[in-house]
Amino acid sequence: MRSPATGPRVLLKRLRDVMAEQLGPQQRLDMIVQSIASNMVAEVCSVYVLRADNVLELFATEGLNPDAVHQSSLKFGQGLVGRIAATARPINIADAKEHPSFAYLPETGEEHYTSFLGVPMLRSGRSLGVLVVQNKVARQYHEEEVEALETSAMIIAELVAAGGLEGLNERGIGLDLSKSVTLKGVPLSDGIGSGEVVLHEPRVVVTNLFNENTELEIDRLRQALSALRISIDDMLSRGDVARDGEHRDVLEAYRMFANDRGWVRRMEEAILNGLTAEAAVEKVQNDNSARMMRQSDPYLRERLHDFDDLARRLLRQLMGKPQAALGKEMPKNAIIVARNMGAAELLDYDRDCLRGLVLEEATPTSHVVIVARAIGIAVVGQVQGVVALAENTDSIVVDGDEGVVYLRPPADVATAYAEKEVFRNTQKAHYSSLRDVPAVSRDGIGIELMLNVGLAADLPQLSETGASGIGLFRTELQFMVSATLPRLDEQESFYRNVLDEAGAKPVIFRTLDIGGDKVLPYMQQIAEENPALGWRAIRLALDRPGLMRIQLRALLRAAGGRTLSIMLPMVTEVREVVQVRAMIEKEKNLLAGFGHQLPTTLRLGAMIEVPALFWQMDELMEVVDFVSIGTNDLFQFMTASDRGNTQMANRYDSLSRPFMRALLDVAEAGKRNNTSVNLCGEIAGRPLAAMGLMALGYRSLSMSPSAIGPVKSMLLALNIERLSKRVLSQLKEPSTGQTMRELLSDFADEYGIPY
């Protein structure tokens, strides 16, 4: 380890003394630039701070014209200073005027100076300004001088972030910390949420910057690193972490990075230059974050993200907060902002306070997104850089319909969304007033409007929405939010509670739909090139009969003396249903032998998600009591398009003639075989699509709780028979000309039907 240069140590001591004095903001900043200039033997030292209007304003200088302070400025990206702020990279050149980005500001008097060293003032990788030193003689600044200036820049950045310079600029424009930012992501759950930022892993604020005892700080860093490494080893050795799989690769990478000598050396060098262990971690984290923001290679960005996460963990170790606080005292309108998080972590928050979720990662099929949809909050994912840009208590608006996040929104945007929320709340009040109104069309046709749910927290929605029952209970969510495989008695208690809450209303339990994108952390996952078409759902269950039999046993015991409806996902061949029915009979005989009460009625159904069933329809309906169409997977397989691929999201229409013809075939097969047909895909919850389904003959639709009101409102205004005649005649027409979506919307407009 190299011995520290005298300059940086002396400079940090001077800056520490300046920060400790009772001074006004401008006076403190002036003394800081004087100390830096003196220590580095620079004839100029200047601080430029980034304002909310993307302008870098000269806030203090030693050596330039003092009258230029708060009068001279550069746009973000303009000149050498603007380039440093935009790229978050230092510029060290012997002749500034020769650089292509040089911009001359005559009011500053800088034409006398040749050499130039400028570094960004960073916080969490974000540029808050630029710190510059200049000299008349042409020279290249040494590495130690660059290090000293970067350390000084970090200290000034903390001063800016703490609000220590607010109000200094004469023009009254706020600093960049309060700047409004609009971020585009991917819409993952519909809705609008506005409120306050709650960082999932609150940023640790470093207040103690200067060390008094270098040896002690080095020792503190090494102890914290040791604790960090032990915690990662513990995660890897836990029994509930599978031996193989992608999650283990991530933890192994964490272990490797936690032992990275280059990372540790840079932190130790910062301590030798006079920083505390915490400030050293913060400085190196800032440097890594800036590199991450410049990096286009996704692999390298991910690796730098890992260092970012490790730095936050290390800071918490140093400050005696090894576990990230989940913000138990939450604001009433909390918007959770995170890089990513687990499904169970989301449920740790007070659901009554949650208004939205913003994630840097996540896809429509991420576990946390599935749970967020289930509890009805707006979610936007793949919002790059939001964690670094946001601070706790910042105002924020999440538009889950459009996939846009407004951080610290301007007044007009906040007002517009407030009005939009009022309108949505008015609609909700209208839908609530329809709760007890029978779901009957204008021409007297009754429709069962059922719920798609999967958590105990969803059950109150059954009475709140006035739904006819639960058409799809996703049993896998209980497994996904648990750290270990739920035992038989836990499953039985859970299913009994669901049936108790439902009372006389029907509940259809879907057996475990795991595999593919739904990975359980305590089960080994097999690598597959195309998991959506792989070992999942009924296929996995039949190959692992122990898992299936325990769930069937729990369901049978929970439904003793009541009706039990079980639905099988991802059925491809009729023989799969026959195998499960035989398994159920064995479990019934076993339970009867031990004196357990059995269900009074057992209904077994199959989900139609695989196109192969269209050529086994009559045969299938002979061995089941009902069928339910899962339009999400069925549409994906019929159109050979990944529903999680944003580039394909709007390419094919779920109301196209080919798909509606396929749905009509199933409805007619149900009538022909006297088998009830339900539909539980996402299109059931869209009023316009639900209109089309009713026209095809569907009389039972299952949807999310938030969709019940809009669909019922549409139904009450609809004449199904009139629409059915128009739809059925048009389905026979070629797929050119007017689309089915246009037909339905024209019909709705013609008869004043809300959609």
Superfamily of chain region 437-751: Phosphoenolpyruvate-binding domains (3.20.20.60)
Highest mean pLDDT among 141-155, 330-344, 553-567: 553-567
CA angle 447, 450, 453 (to 5 degrees): 170
Closest alpha carbon to 619 in 675, 535, 660: 675
Write the single-letter amino acid at 104. Y
Which 3-state string (H, E, C) describes 595-637?
CCCCCCEEEEEEEECCHHHHHCHHHHHHHCCEEEECHHHHHHH
Q: How many CB atoms lie within 10 A of CB 244?
A: 11
Alpha carbons 515 and 547: distance in angstroms, whole number: 13
Q: Are 445 and 699 in contact (CB under 8 A)?
A: yes
pLDDT of 3 reads 40
For the segment(s) 6-177, the CATH number from 3.30.70.60, 3.40.50.300, 3.30.450.40, 1.10.357.10 is 3.30.450.40
566-to-41, 474, 560 alpha-carbon distances in Å: 80, 11, 14
Highest mean pLDDT among 255-264, 503-512, 704-713: 503-512
Residue with tokens 């059931």, as numbered in its chain: 684
pLDDT of 260 reads 77
Alpha carbons 119 and 132: distance in angstroms, whole number: 7
Alpha carbons 221 and 319: distance in angstroms, whole number: 11
Alpha carbons 620 and 569: distance in angstroms, whole number: 14
Can you spell out the DSSP letters for 7-27?
HHHHHHHHHHHHHHS---HHH
**SS3 label, residue 646:** coil
Indicate if the pLDDT at residue 448 is higher than 70: yes
Helix and strand counts by DSSP (H, E) for the chain: 26, 22
Q: Which residue would you say has higher pLDDT here, 212 or 708? A: 708
Indicate if the pLDDT at residue 721 is higher than 60: yes
Can you spell out the DSSP letters for 106-150?
GGGTGGG--EEEEEEEEETTEEEEEEEEEESS--PPPHHHHHHHH
Task: Assign 365 a pLDDT band (cuts: 50, 70, 90).
Answer: low
Q: Are 474 and 725 in contact (CB under 8 A)?
A: no
Indicate if the pLDDT at residue 536 is higher than 90: no
Q: How many CB atoms lie within 10 A of CB 383?
A: 25
Q: Are 223 and 424 in contact (CB under 8 A)?
A: no
| CATH 3.20.20.60 residue spans of the chain | 437-751
What does the pLDDT average to over 608-628?
97
pLDDT of 239 reads 46
Alpha carbons 646 and 699: distance in angstroms, whole number: 32
Indicate if the pLDDT at residue 308 is higher than 70: no
| CATH 1.10.274.10 residue spans of the chain | 214-318
What does the pLDDT average to over 105-118?
92
Alpha carbons 210 and 207: distance in angstroms, whole number: 9
Write the single-letter amino acid at 413. V
Task: Please state whether beta strands 354-359 and 378-381 pair in parallel, antiparallel, or not at all (unpaired).
Answer: parallel
In this structure, the chain runs to a length of: 755
Closest alpha carbon to 57 in 170, 162, 181, 133: 170
% of the chain exceeding 70 in pLDDT:
87
Alpha carbons 620 and 675: distance in angstroms, whole number: 10
Task: Assign 5 a pLDDT band (cuts: 50, 70, 90).
Answer: very low
pLDDT of 299 reads 46
Helix axes 720-731, 687-696, angle to 10 degrees: 80
pLDDT of 570 reads 95
Write the pLDDT tens digit of every residue in 406-440: 999 988 888 888 888 888 778 888 898 999 999 99
Indicate if the pLDDT at residue 627 is higher than 70: yes
527-to-478, 519, 531, 535, 569 alpha-carbon distances in Å: 24, 11, 8, 10, 21
Residues 333/164/61/283 CA torsion (nearest 10 deg)? -70
% of the chain exceeding 90 in pLDDT:
53
Mean pLDDT of all residues in the chain? 86
- Spell out the residues 6+ positions from residue 134 whose beta carbon is closer than 8 angstroms to its own: 42, 43, 44, 45, 46, 63, 96, 110, 113, 114, 115, 116, 117
- Spell out the residues 6+ positions from residue 197 whose beta carbon is closer than 8 angstroms to its own: 335, 337, 390, 391, 392, 393, 394, 395, 396, 407
pLDDT of 294 reads 59
Indicate if the pLDDT at residue 172 is higher than 70: no
Burial class (CB in 10 A: 0-12, 13-18, 19+), 562: middle
Least confident of 75-89, 288-302, 655-669: 288-302
Can you spell out the DSSP letters for 213-263?
-HHHHHHHHHHHHHHHHHHHHHHHH-TTS-SSSHHHHHHHHHHHHHT-HHH
Tell me which CATH code domain 214-318 carries. 1.10.274.10
- Spell out the residues 6+ positions from residue 213 whose beta carbon is closer than 8 angstroms to its own: none
What does the pLDDT average to over 132-155?
92
Q: 448 forms bridges with which residues in the sheet? A: 700
Written as six digits, the tokens of 243 are: 């031996």
pLDDT of 524 reads 66
What does the pLDDT average to over 429-455?
94
Tell me which CATH code domain 181-202+325-422 carries. 3.50.30.10
Written as six digits, the tokens of 485 are: 């495989």
Indicate if the pLDDT at residue 60 is higher than 80: yes
**SS3 label, residue 536:** strand
Q: Which residue would you say has higher pLDDT here, 521 or 717? A: 717
pLDDT of 4 reads 41
pLDDT of 362 reads 76
Write the pLDDT tens digit of every residue in 676-701: 999 998 899 999 999 999 999 999 99
pLDDT of 160 reads 87
Half-sphere exposure of 128 (CA within 13 A, CB side): 27
Q: 702 forms bridges with which residues in the sheet? A: 450
Indicate if the pLDDT at residue 243 is higher than 50: no
Helix or strand (DSSP H, E) at 93: strand 91-93
198-to-37, 175, 319, 390, 537 alpha-carbon distances in Å: 40, 22, 20, 9, 36
